[in-house]
Amino acid sequence: MIAIWLFIFAPLFSNANTLTMNLVGKLEDRCEINFTSGQKIDLSDSNIKTLPLDIYCNQPLGVSVYSKNGGLKLDKRDDIPPFDYLFEININKANIHEEVKSIDLLSEKRFDSSGVIPFSALGEIRITLEDRLLYAGYYEDVIEIDVFPSINSVIN
């Protein structure tokens, strides 16, 4: 009878082992822009040109844009003001559709994806001259474009 009693109540006296398992992972922020057809826009024969771009960002993104001259400046002619243009950037998947006059790009402008994470996205930059170039010579402006993760997802 004692053997039966031990057999019946044996499961009540057994010790259970608990296994704890931690799963972890980390992925670094990545935000980059690539121009698929070069980084130069030549407005010698046209008032409007577009430049396609690829963006990859694994969190909401911000874009900053800055112009060195605020327009197309004629080389070695400080007496002639830069020729104004309209800068447009469109990245549909990131909800970025902005137009800015070149003179306003003398101070950095920032845009964001309003919380949208685009991952891999196509877009374009369009430059439209407000007036045709008049004087013979070489014109230039340098536009700095930076993409970065937008932690706050709202940039002023």
What's the distance, CA 95 to chain centroid?
11
Among 155, 143, 153, smallest CA distance to 49 is for 143
State residue 1's pLDDT score.
Answer: 46
**Between these two residues, 30 and 98, which has the higher pLDDT value?**
98
State residue 13's pLDDT score.
Answer: 55
Q: Strand (E) positions, the chain?
A: 31-35, 48-57, 61-67, 73-74, 85-91, 96-101, 109-112, 119-129, 139-140, 143-149
pLDDT for residue 98 is more than 80: yes
Pair 133, 98: CB distance under 8 Å: no
pLDDT for residue 153 is more than 70: no
Pair 28, 95: CB distance under 8 Å: no
Tell me which of 33-37, 69-73, 77-81, 106-110 is least confident: 33-37
pLDDT for residue 11 is more than 70: no
- Cα dist from 24 to 20, 27, 81, whole Å: 13, 11, 57
CATH architecture observed for domain 28-149: Sandwich (2.60)
Distance CA 56, CA 94 (A): 10
**Between these two residues, 152 and 74, which has the higher pLDDT value?**
74
State residue 119's pLDDT score.
Answer: 92
Q: Which amino acid is located at 108 in the chain?
A: E
| pTM strictly above 0.85 | no
What is the tens place of the pLDDT at every residue in 24-64? Answer: 999 888 899 999 888 899 999 999 999 999 999 999 999 99
Terminal Cα distance for the chain, rounded = 83
Distance CA 47, CA 43 (A): 6
Q: How much of the chain exceeds pLDDT 90, in percent?
A: 73
- Look over the chain and give the mean of its residue pLDDT values, rounded to a whole number: 88
pLDDT for residue 154 is more than 80: no
Pair 42, 17: CB distance under 8 Å: no
